Structure 1
Amino acid sequence: MTKLSTRSRTDLLLHIGIILALTVVLVLVFFFGYLPYSTNHGQTITVPDLKHMSLDELENYLDDRDLRYEVSDCTFVSGGVPLTVFAQYPQPGSNVKEGRKIYLTIIKRMAPTMPMPNLIDQTSRTAELQLRALGLVLGELTYEPDLGKNKVLKQLVNGKELAPGTPVAKGTTVDLVVGDGEGKVYFPTPDVTNMNFEEAVAAIRGSGLRVGVRVPVDDPEQEVGTVIKQKPRADERIRLGQSVDIWVVGPIDANADAQ
């Protein structure tokens, strides 16, 4: 077997040159031959839009496109169809290689629960922001007499008051009863007609009102002392402390008026 001579400087340089040339050839073959072939270089697939697609559909759909998937997260979406795709990565329209794995966020079947917040005495706007931050929904606003304008007086779910801390599902609608800013400044006048005088006086004073002018009237068909008319009329709105005038059958009894 003939051996390459390395006795001279020229032979040594020649051998080094041959080794370097072979190394360069191997590197070029690896990067421009084997590597592109093994990684399908230049062959890409456009990622389809998988949103709203069910898990049952995904398997065959992605297999036909040489793609795979993995569920990386789950979330609850109010009104969303359970076990369907909510989000994906890479995004639809991206170009990926064959066999690429698509990571999916799936809509949960059951809504998570959380403690009901305490919205009492907050403004309706603050309560709305807090509900939204927790994934709850503001429902109807009902106004009741209260000096605190838009102050939350009650928090309701399905028509029932819900105490703070009670477990409630995400996406639940919460109705609020809030103040109208006026309070009970005005209220309906009590109906004292057809009562006797003493009963009428008690009803008027019991409502936080005063007995005003007592007008005597003759009415042979009514018993003496019966109230047959009043002003303001029954159910007419009146302010606290105002007076109610009454028309009473019979003469004025000074002692009764003084009581």
Structure 2
Amino acid sequence: MTFLKFIFSKTFLIQLVLAVLALVLIAFIILQWLEYSTNQDQRITVPNLARLSLDKVDEQLAELELRREILDSANYNPDYPPYSVIDQVPLPGKQVKENRKIYLTLNPSGYRKVEIPENLIRKTRRQVEPTLKSLGFEIGTITYKPDVAKDAVLEMRHKGEKVEAGDKLMKTSRIDLVLGDGSGMYGMEDEEEKTAEEEILDDLENEEFDF
């Protein structure tokens, strides 16, 4: 009777409830730990996001429970669509954990504009061409005009228009060069034409006075 009284006593019932609660708590902690350990071991294969728009990227990353961050845009690459992914870190095929951030570099909409530097006029072709090429320009046609300095750059032109220092052109633009041929002063042809015209006018005036 003493044992039965103890089983049904208030003290025993309280201890029993506490023991059950402790077991439930321990079981919950164990389950959470197992789930965490399992997730830690799970790896996600990074997809290839090259050439994809941001909308497509977001769809794929959401399905894989990955995140993204956009880095600065790279130099324009005509082989990739504008605003598409041109580079990513980690690379495709790498194994990462859930919620990992993928860093993306996007392709701009076009080539950026580059400023024409100063002090190129009267420099030699050998000096000017490497400078323009290093800025991303292409060298177009080469023409010559009378000038005392052979191969000195007298003018730069783009699509027939004269280009001055400080002007901005799209990268990869073609720049034509007008060089001196070493035969005489630049602009001498114009002066000679004017002199010939003046001589003709003088002759006409003299003929009028003869009448």
The TM tier, using the shorter chain, reads 0.5 to 0.7
Which residue of structure 2 lines up, in the alignment, with residue 128 of structure 1? Answer: 129
Seen in structure 2, the aligned counterparts of structure 1 residues 115 and 97 have a Cα distance that, compared at 3 Å, is: same
TM-score normalized by the length of structure 2: 0.58
Any unmatched runs of 5+ in structure 1?
1-28, 185-202, 207-259
Higher strand share: 1
Contact kept, 8 Å, 2:138 with 2:172, in 1: the verdict is no
Which residue of structure 2 lines up, in the alignment, with residue 157 of structure 1? Answer: 158
Contact kept, 8 Å, 1:46 with 1:96, in 2: the verdict is yes
Contact kept, 8 Å, 1:43 with 1:97, in 2: the verdict is yes
Higher helix share: 2
Residues paired across the two proteins, number: 155
Greater CA radius of gyration, 1 or 2? 1
Which residue of structure 2 lines up, in the alignment, with residue 85 of structure 1? Answer: 85
Structure 1 counterpart SS, 2:73: strand
Q: Identity of counterpart residues, as a percentage?
A: 35
RMSD: 3.4
> Structure 2 CA distance, aligned partners of 1:124 and 1:35?
73
Contact kept, 8 Å, 2:71 with 2:104, in 1: the verdict is yes
| 1:42-74 residue CA offsets vs partner (Å, 9 max, x unmatched) | 322332332222223211122233322111212
Any unmatched runs of 5+ in structure 2?
1-28, 185-192, 197-211
Seen in structure 2, the aligned counterparts of structure 1 residues 58 and 153 have a Cα distance that, compared at 3 Å, is: same
Q: What letter matches 2:106 in structure 1?
A: I
Higher normalized contact order (CA 8 Å, seq sep 6+, divided by chain length)? 2
Which residue of structure 2 lines up, in the alignment, with residue 45 of structure 1? Answer: 44
Structure 2 counterpart SS, 1:73: coil
| 1:168-226 residue CA offsets vs partner (Å, 9 max, x unmatched) | 3334332222345x536xxxxxxxxxxxxxxxxxx9x96xxxxxxxxxxxxxxxxxxxx
Q: What letter matches 1:70 in structure 2?
A: E
Contact kept, 8 Å, 1:141 with 1:178, in 2: the verdict is no
